[in-house]
Amino acid sequence: MVGQAASCGLIWDFAVPESVPASQRWVLSTMQSYGPELVTMLWRILGNEQDVCDAYQDTFLKLAHYEQGRKPEYIKAYIFRTASNTAMSILRHRIAERKNLSMISSSEKNASSAADELDFKNLQQTLRFNIAQLPEHLRNVITLHDLAELSYTQIGRILCISEATARVYRCKAVQLLAVWMSKEKEEGQ
In the chain the domains, ranked by start, together with CATH numbers, are 2-100 (1.10.1740), 134-188 (1.10.10)
Query: What pTM was estimated for this model as a whole?
Result: 0.46
The DSSP secondary structure of the chain, one letter per residue, reads: -HHHHHHTT-GGGT--GGGS-GGGHHHHHHHHHHHHHHHHHHHHHH--HHHHHHHHHHHHHHHHTGGGGPPPSSHHHHHHHHHHHHHHHHHHHHHHHHHHHHHHHHHHHHHHHHHHHHHHHHHHHHHHHHHHHS-HHHHHHHIIIIIS---HHHHHHHHT--HHHHHHHHHHHHHHHHHHHHHHHHHH-
- How confident is the prediction along the chain (189 residues), in pLDDT tens digits per residue? 445 545 454 444 545 556 656 666 777 777 888 888 888 888 888 888 888 998 898 888 887 777 776 777 788 888 888 888 888 888 888 888 888 887 776 666 666 666 676 677 788 788 888 888 899 999 889 888 887 788 999 999 989 999 999 999 999 999 998 898 888 777 765
